[in-house]
Every structure is written in C-alpha cells, then in structure tokens.
C-alpha cells in the first residue's frame, strides 16, 4: 500500500541551487521510477470505488429516478441522488449555480445525476446502469441567438449573483464593456478599415492524469480527502457546505497531479467521493476514465469574435471595436473572469486610443466552460492577430513592421486606462523572433532521393512525397494578465521553518500550492536557498493545514506563492539573526554594526566575514514563521466603461511559425515554432523553457487539431475520447527554439513575470498566419480543418 500522504520532497543541492539556476525537480526521481503517487494511484484497505451516472441529454427534466435495483446489487454499498444530499446542493467557483447532483433538471450532456459506491469498479458500473432515470427532454440553447431569443428558456431563473442585475438577459452570465476615447469621432480619419469575424473552437485541457481522489472518513465525523486539484482551499470552501461540515473537519491533502491547465480549478469528483465516504463509512476512490474526464471538467470557452480596426495610411492604429461572445455552457464556472480578460485584453499589446469593446459569456446547454491556460486572452489573440495581418496586407506593410509600429511599451495606456508600469518589450520580442534563422527548406528530402514522410504533412500516413506542399511563415504576439485581477484579494500563505538536523541547517517550506507539473516545488526550494543560505530544503506536502496558496493558474504561482515563500523566508531570516545576536552578539562588534546575511549555512557580514554557523545559531531551536503575502491590489473594471487598474502584471510572448501545407489535402506540418518571451527574471531557466515549449504546443493543438465537437442540434459531445479529440504527438510538434528576455518588473518578487500562459496565446495565431501565407485563404476559425483548406 502506498502512503496516502506524499512524502516531503527533500533536495540537497551540491551547487548553490538558488534562484536563476536550472536546478532539477525535487520530485524528478520519484516521477521517473514510477513511485510518485498520483491521485489515481492511491489505495486504502477496505476502500470502495465510486462511479458517477451522467445525463445522456443536454437538457431534460428528470421525471423520476429509481435506485432500488441498483442499491440491491450485491457489492453495492451506496447509491446517492440529489435527494440524499445532506446540506448545500449547489457549488461554484464564482457563482454557486452548479448542482452537486442534478436537481430535477439536467442542463448539459454528461451532468452528474447519481453516484454509486461498490467493492469493485465493475460492480459499481453495472449498478449505475440499473438506476432508472426517466428524462423528459427539453429544447436546447446552443448559441447567442437561442439564448436570447424571445421566449428562450431561462437556464438559471432567479439569479442572485453580483452580475445578474447588470446583464441584458438572464442567459448572459456577465457582460463587460471597455470604452475609451471616441471611436465614432475618429472613424472617418481612418484610411483603412478592416473587419473580420472569427471563431475559436472548444479546446480541452487534456491533462493526462484523469480526475481522481480518495476520500477517507474520519472518526471525528469529518473526512480526509487526497486529491489532484489546482487549489485546495477553493475546493475546501465549496466542499464543506455540501457535506454540512465545518471546514476544519474536511482535511485535504494534495496528491500527485497529472497536469491541470485550468481543468482542475472547478470541482469534479471531490464532493462526490466525500459524500460516498461519509455515507458508507468506508474510504472511497474515484477515478474517471478518459471518456468521463471529457465530461468531468470545464473546457476552454468557444468564442465568436467580431472586430473592426481602423488605421491611417501610415500604419498607425486609430481605433478598434470588438464584440466577443464566449459560450460558458450550462454553469458559470469562471466565465465572469474570462469575460474580464477577453474584454480588457481584446486589443492586444498595441497602443490604441479609441476602443469600444463588449465581451459577454452565455449560459447555454453546451458543456460548461471555464479555466484553460490563457483564458479569455487566447480567444482574443487569435482574432486581433488575424486583424493585424489583414490590416498590414491592406496597408501593403510587412506584418511584423506594422505590429512593431503599433506595439505598446512601458508607460503605454491600456484600453482600461491602466498605465503599463513595467517593461513591455513587444517590439523587441517581435524583432527577436524574426531574427532567428529560418529552418532549411524541404527537409523531407533525404540523400537517397526518397521522401521521408515523417517530415511531411500527413506524416506516417504517406499522403504526399512533396506534391502540393507549400511553405508559409507567420507571426503573432500576445498579452496576458498575470495573477487574479479585478480587485480579487489574490494572496498566498507560506510557512517556513529553519532548524538544524544532523549537523546541517534545513529549511522546510510548507504551502498549499498545488504542484501540477509546473515546477513550483523546484522554485520554492530555490527561493529558500537564496534567502536562507541553506543547501537542504524540504518541501512539505501541500494540504489545508496551512493557509491558502491560491490557485495554480493565471501564471501566478511563482509570483504569488513564490512571493510568499520569499517574504516568509525574510521573516525567518530576521528571527534567526535576532536569535544569533542574542546568542553570539557580544562576541564581535559586527553583530551590531554590519549588515548580516545568511550564506552557505552561515551568518556572514556583507563584507564576507563569517560570524557563526547556522547550526550553532539554531542549536536546539527551530525558527518558524508563517504569513500571507499578496501582490498590490487591483480594482474592478467599471461596469459601463471598463476603466480601472484591473491587472497586476502583464506578460508578453511572440511566435514565428513555419509551416508546410499540403494544399490539396489540407494537411499541415508545423516545421518550426520559435518563441521569444519576456519572463522578467527566469528563476529556473530549464523550467521556463519547458513552460514556453509546452504552452506553445497547446497553442499549436488549438490551431490545427484540437476541438471538442458539440452537436449543434442536440448539444451532445461527439468526440469524448483520445481517438477523436486529438492532441499533438511528438511527430506533430516541431522544434521550438526559445529566446528568453529578462526585463525586471520592479513590482514583482525578483522582478519575475508569470510565464505559463503567454506562450499559449500567440502560438495559435502564428500557426494560422503561416497557413494563410501558404494558402492565401482567409481562415477565420480554429482549429483549421482540412475541409477549410480544401473548400470541402
């Protein structure tokens, strides 16, 4: 049996191992030996398996629910429906609109209706199949027209959320206008006007580790939940009321997380497993399979975007108008924040004085959509970068030069009125990415003359030996906010302990940060080494015994939890020096007069004189501190004008894509996807390039293959599997050269800038721009399908 609580990750580093170095992951060895315990790997004596019965319909009334036959199945220990819920029946990240189990109505395909716990997953599945549900199907809402049509069913009647009084229709979750300058006043000064309508399909996070967790009932009537999530405390805040328990009786520990990308920000099986465990008095494990995973988490909002850009003949942007319609699906999830991002970043990293933007998110009967890497900004970037290319073409200008001419820089004013008060090297990133050497042409041609199909569009499928293959090159740049915005109290908590163990000073860092693969654990150890001058650092397992670390999302963890670790290390350092002064201060005048530092396990003066070892200082005493740390406050956007200091930090990346397109078959091979990104300060350069390459590849996937296909008539998901929801393989992914720029943001710890999301933005439009260049087609929708390229 595996220990349910992960071991702390201890790493001693031979080199200094502080920030700025490519130290290796402390969990790397466990992950390559197969010992690292992911949530789906957990096992407990006497445990039961939980399964979920889900709705086959996108919108239906449940006339009746019969569980007797299921409950009578041998090996079945519990069957739960809405009627069995002990306390709160709804939850939600921002708006509590999501039923724990369907309450008489299902609003999307795959909505949870009932739960079964049994002694084997197959027993549970067979029993779930015996639950009799009588559905009366209802008309489905699938888009803006059907959501706001006269007489359209209101999916969430009686809304009381903060956005409800301000939306034009109850099926609109949130609406955010951004109005700056006076578009109508300058319109007639535009020499060139381009308009465009764009569409972004529904992308899935497709993290590889499926939703899973293990709930263990405790003797005190509470429950211990071992779980793969992005934000332990947000889960806790939502789960405890559903269980009818105080938060201190719901103890959560982070298990190994197999990727997240936003898809674990909402609850999946967390409350379900706890409910089953509390009902049966037995530990309950739930593991989704890939089919269920597609129904078990929110997706990236599909979007329809209408843009108009006006520019002078010299190539200066005059105005931008945009209307962005995001499909939030059946429940709100993080739709309001996605709207805020899409609206406030709708213009991109460009200086435009006259802006009129409106973004809305809909309630529909489509699958719920919420957080995915770069949310809101990804959709807008695809559209505004297409517009920039279109404008450049209309002006007869080079697309990169046109962008550079209009690029924002530090001091620029966003359409929200916010002054960008840290480096914004947009033009420089474009210059760098353009300056990289281009990959050689016709790489499929081998010395022997035979074509290497692996280097051609179609790959191993042997569709072309070079026929109709045309190269294209495209550029794009994007802007993403870092951290939670719009006045959210975005803080993190850290607890740091310094003690002497076995003749060595050891720091222990305890946060509730969800390590989902991004490498936060690596960076926290580096920060502790830098601040405390120790070699050995233990990263305590993340749990709810320490305060919230906020979400592992919005590119925020290194900034905010990293900031908290840094801050608390500083507190510990002060305490250590206080202790040291008390113990040794009389022995040397420097204790009183010099600036003291902790380096290499010693207290040293700023002149380098060693005053004491940490082991001597800490003898018999551990020094510990805990505190919250928050970035500078932001402000909500004005509901009518969108003006406000809404974002704490911006991050920028630019891409150049080189593609080869089989123009007759409409198949695409991305040959190279070069990226330049400003990261402020690379705390771990190896992790930084890994984030950039990974984000870039997810953008590639959205460009050419990834889409959850929802039937427009039934609102049912048509491809919930890895057979038909395709993500890039290693043969689809090109070389990704990365050029990292480090221009410090003085407001952020170490000057760092959140890294994770920006590369996901510009990757997609760069690939599509390259395909446009190769084919001459307009291509207004992603993913680009062979049908779009062949007119079929």
Residue 2 or 132 with smaller CB distance to other proteins: 2
Smallest separation (angstroms) from other proteins to the CB of 730 = 4
CA dihedral defined by 55, 57, 58, 61, rounded to 10 degrees? Answer: -80
Smallest separation (angstroms) from other proteins to the CB of 561 = 17
What number of H helices and E strands is found in the chain?
A: 19, 32
Intra-chain end-to-end CA distance of the chain, in Å: 55
Smallest separation (angstroms) from other proteins to the CB of 198 = 21
Smallest separation (angstroms) from other proteins to the CB of 578 = 39
Alpha helices (H) in 175-325, listed in sequence order: 183-186, 232-243, 270-280, 290-296
Determine the Cα–Cα distance for residues 619 and 614; give it in Å rounded to an integer.
8
Determine the Cα–Cα distance for residues 248 and 220; give it in Å rounded to an integer.
11
> What 3 state SS string does 624-688 have?
EEEEEEECCCCCCCCCCCCCCCCCCEEEEEEEEEEEEEECCCCEEEEEEEEEEEECCCCCCHHHH
Residue at token pair 């002990």 = 86
Q: Helix axis angle, 377-395 relative to 758-775, nearest 10°? A: 40
Smallest separation (angstroms) from other proteins to the CB of 503 = 25
Determine the Cα–Cα distance for residues 534 and 612; give it in Å rounded to an integer.
14
Point out which residues pair with 637 in neighbouring strands.
none
Residue 151 or 449 with smaller CB distance to other proteins: 449
Smallest separation (angstroms) from other proteins to the CB of 75 = 11
Smallest separation (angstroms) from other proteins to the CB of 535 = 19
Query: Pick from 344, 421, 482: which is nearest to 743 by CA?
Result: 421
Contacts for 773-781: CB closer than 8 Å, 24+ residues apart: 773/472, 773/473, 773/474, 774/470, 774/471, 774/472, 774/659, 774/660, 774/661, 774/663, 775/470, 775/472, 775/661, 775/663, 779/386, 780/196, 780/197, 780/198, 780/199, 780/386, 781/198, 781/199, 781/200, 781/201
Residue 212 or 238 with smaller CB distance to other proteins: 212
**Those residues with Cβ within 8 angstroms of residue 402's Cβ, 6 or more apart along the chain or in another chain:** 315, 388, 391, 392, 395
Smallest separation (angstroms) from other proteins to the CB of 534 = 22
Residue 43 or 587 with smaller CB distance to other proteins: 43
Residue 336 or 457 with smaller CB distance to other proteins: 457
Smallest separation (angstroms) from other proteins to the CB of 493 = 24
Determine the Cα–Cα distance for residues 429 and 650; give it in Å rounded to an integer.
14
**Those residues with Cβ within 8 angstroms of residue 515's Cβ, 6 or more apart along the chain or in another chain:** 27, 254, 257, 521, 542, 552
Smallest separation (angstroms) from other proteins to the CB of 194 = 29
Contacts for 597-606: CB closer than 8 Å, 24+ residues apart: 597/533, 598/531, 598/532, 598/533, 598/534, 598/573, 599/533, 600/533, 600/535, 601/504, 601/505, 601/533, 601/534, 601/535, 602/533, 603/576, 603/577
Smallest separation (angstroms) from other proteins to the CB of 206 = 6
Residue 259 or 541 with smaller CB distance to other proteins: 259
Query: Pick from 470, 475, 503: which is nearest to 659 by CA?
Result: 470
Residue 176 or 762 with smaller CB distance to other proteins: 762
Smallest separation (angstroms) from other proteins to the CB of 1 = 7
Smallest separation (angstroms) from other proteins to the CB of 656 = 16
- Residue 456's Cβ-count burial label (10 Å; 0-12, 13-18, 19+) is buried
Residue 163 or 788 with smaller CB distance to other proteins: 788
Residue 414 or 670 with smaller CB distance to other proteins: 670
Residue 460 or 610 with smaller CB distance to other proteins: 460
Residue 372 or 528 with smaller CB distance to other proteins: 372
Alpha helices (H) in 97-172, listed in sequence order: 121-129, 144-148
Residue 499 or 706 with smaller CB distance to other proteins: 706
Residue 195 or 721 with smaller CB distance to other proteins: 721
Sign of the CA dihedral with 539 first, then 542, 546, and 547 last:
positive
Residue 430 or 673 with smaller CB distance to other proteins: 673
Smallest separation (angstroms) from other proteins to the CB of 20 = 15
**Those residues with Cβ within 8 angstroms of residue 87's Cβ, 6 or more apart along the chain or in another chain:** 241, 242, 243, 244
Residue 34 or 608 with smaller CB distance to other proteins: 34
Smallest separation (angstroms) from other proteins to the CB of 723 = 6
Q: Report strand pairing: 284-287 vs 48-54.
A: parallel
What is residue 13's three-state secondary structure?
coil
**Those residues with Cβ within 8 angstroms of residue 743's Cβ, 6 or more apart along the chain or in another chain:** 422, 423, 425, 678, 680, 751
Q: What's the DSSP call for residue 556?
A: -
Determine the Cα–Cα distance for residues 201 and 303; give it in Å rounded to an integer.
7
Alpha helices (H) in 396-461, listed in sequence order: 399-406, 426-435
Query: Pick from 269, 297, 320: which is nearest to 101 by CA?
Result: 269
For residues 418 and 647, the answer to whether their CB atoms sit within 8 Å is yes
Smallest separation (angstroms) from other proteins to the CB of 149 = 27
Smallest separation (angstroms) from other proteins to the CB of 327 = 18
Smallest separation (angstroms) from other proteins to the CB of 703 = 12
Residue at token pair 């779930």 = 128
Sign of the CA dihedral with 245 first, then 248, 253, and 258 last:
positive
Q: Helix axis angle, 232-243 relative to 270-280, nearest 10°? A: 40
Residue 332 or 521 with smaller CB distance to other proteins: 521
Residue 27 or 490 with smaller CB distance to other proteins: 27
Residue 217 or 720 with smaller CB distance to other proteins: 720
């Amino acid at each position: 049996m595996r220990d349910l609580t992960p071991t702390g990750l201890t790493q001693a580093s031979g080199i200094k191992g502080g920030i700025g170095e490519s130290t290796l992951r402390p969990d790397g060895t466990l992950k390559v030996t197969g010992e690292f315990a992911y949530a789906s790997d957990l096992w407990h004596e006497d445990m039961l398996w939980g399964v979920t019965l889900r709705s086959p319909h996108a919108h239906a009334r449940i006339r009746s629910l019969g569980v007797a036959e299921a409950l009578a199945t041998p090996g079945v220990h519990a069957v739960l429906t809405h009627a069995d819920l002990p306390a709160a029946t709804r939850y939600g990240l921002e708006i509590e609109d999501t039923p724990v189990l369907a309450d008489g109505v299902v609003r999307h395909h795959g909505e949870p209706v009932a739960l079964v716990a049994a002694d084997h997953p197959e027993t549970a599945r067979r029993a779930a199949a015996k639950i009799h549900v009588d559905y009366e199907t209802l008309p489905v809402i699938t888009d803006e027209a059907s959501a706001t049509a006269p007489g359209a069913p209101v999916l969430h009647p009686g809304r009381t959320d903060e956005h409800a009084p301000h939306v034009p229709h109850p099926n609109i979750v949130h609406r955010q206008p951004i109005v700056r300058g006076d578009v109508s006043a300058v319109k007639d000064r535009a020499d060139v006007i381009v308009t465009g309508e764009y569409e972004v399909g529904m992308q899935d996070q497709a993290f590889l580790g499926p939703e899973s967790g293990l709930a263990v009932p405790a003797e005190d009537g509470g429950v211990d939940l071992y779980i793969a999530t992005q934000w332990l405390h947000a889960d806790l805040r939502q789960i405890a009321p559903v269980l009818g328990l105080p938060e201190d009786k719901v103890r959560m520990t982070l298990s190994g997380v197999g990727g997240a990308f936003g898809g674990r920000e909402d609850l999946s099986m967390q409350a379900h497993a706890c409910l089953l465990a509390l009902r049966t008095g037995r530990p309950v494990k739930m593991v989704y399979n890939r089919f269920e995973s597609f129904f078990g988490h929110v997706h990236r909002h599909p979007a329809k975007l209408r843009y108009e850009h006006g520019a002078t003949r010299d190539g200066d942007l005059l105005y931008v108008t945009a209307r962005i319609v995001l499909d939030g699906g059946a429940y709100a999830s993080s739709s309001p924040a996605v709207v805020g991002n899409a609206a406030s970043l709708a213009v991109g990293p460009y200086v435009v004085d006259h802006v009129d933007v409106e973004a809305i998110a809909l309630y529909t009967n489509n699958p719920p959509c919420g957080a995915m890497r770069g949310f809101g900004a990804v959709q807008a970037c695809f559209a505004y970068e297409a517009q920039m290319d279109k404008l450049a073409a209309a002006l007869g200008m080079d697309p990169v030069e046109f962008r550079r001419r209009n690029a924002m820089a530090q001091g620029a004013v966003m359409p929200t009125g916010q002054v960008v008060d840290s480096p914004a090297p947009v033009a420089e990133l474009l210059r760098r990415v353009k300056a990289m050497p281009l990959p050689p042409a016709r790489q499929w041609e081998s010395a022997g003359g035979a074509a290497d199909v692996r280097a051609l569009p179609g790959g191993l499928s042997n569709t072309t030996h070079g026929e109709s293959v045309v190269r294209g090159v495209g550029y794009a740049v994007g802007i993403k906010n870092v951290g939670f915005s719009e006045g959210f109290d975005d803080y993190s908590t850290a607890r740091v302990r310094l003690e002497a163990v076995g003749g060595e000073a050891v720091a222990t860092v305890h946060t509730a940060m969800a390590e989902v693969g991004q490498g936060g654990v690596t960076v926290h150890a580096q920060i502790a080494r830098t601040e405390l001058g120790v070699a050995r650092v233990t990263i305590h397992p993340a749990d709810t015994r320490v305060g919230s670390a906020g979400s592992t999302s919005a590119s925020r963890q290194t900034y905010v939890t990293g900031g908290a670790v840094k801050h608390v290390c500083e507190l510990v350092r002060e305490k250590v020096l206080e202790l040291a002064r008390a113990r040794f201060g009389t022995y040397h005048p420097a204790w009183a007069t010099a600036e003291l530092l902790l380096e290499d396990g010693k207290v040293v003066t700023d002149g380098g004189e060693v005053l004491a070892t940490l082991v001597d200082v800490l003898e018999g005493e551990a020094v510990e501190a805990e505190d919250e740390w928050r970035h500078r406050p932001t402000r909500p956007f004005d509901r009518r004008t969108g003006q406000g200091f809404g974002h704490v930090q911006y991050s920028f990346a630019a891409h150049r894509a080189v593609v080869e397109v089989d123009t007759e078959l409409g198949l695409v091979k991305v040959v190279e996807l070069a990226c330049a990104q400003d990261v402020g300060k690379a705390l771990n350069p190896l992790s930084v390039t890994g984030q950039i390459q990974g984000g870039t590849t997810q953008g590639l996937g959205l460009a050419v293959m990834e889409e959850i296909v929802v039937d427009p008539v039934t609102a049912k998901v048509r491809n919930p599997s890895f057979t038909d929801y395709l993500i890039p393989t290693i043969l689809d992914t090109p070389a990704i050269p990365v050029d990292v720029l480090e221009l410090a943001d003085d407001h952020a710890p170490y000057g760092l800038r959140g890294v994770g999301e920006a590369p996901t933005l510009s990757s997609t439009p760069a690939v599509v721009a390259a395909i446009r260049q190769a084919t001459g087609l307009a291509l207004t929708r992603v993913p680009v399908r062979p049908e779009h390229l062949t007119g079929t």
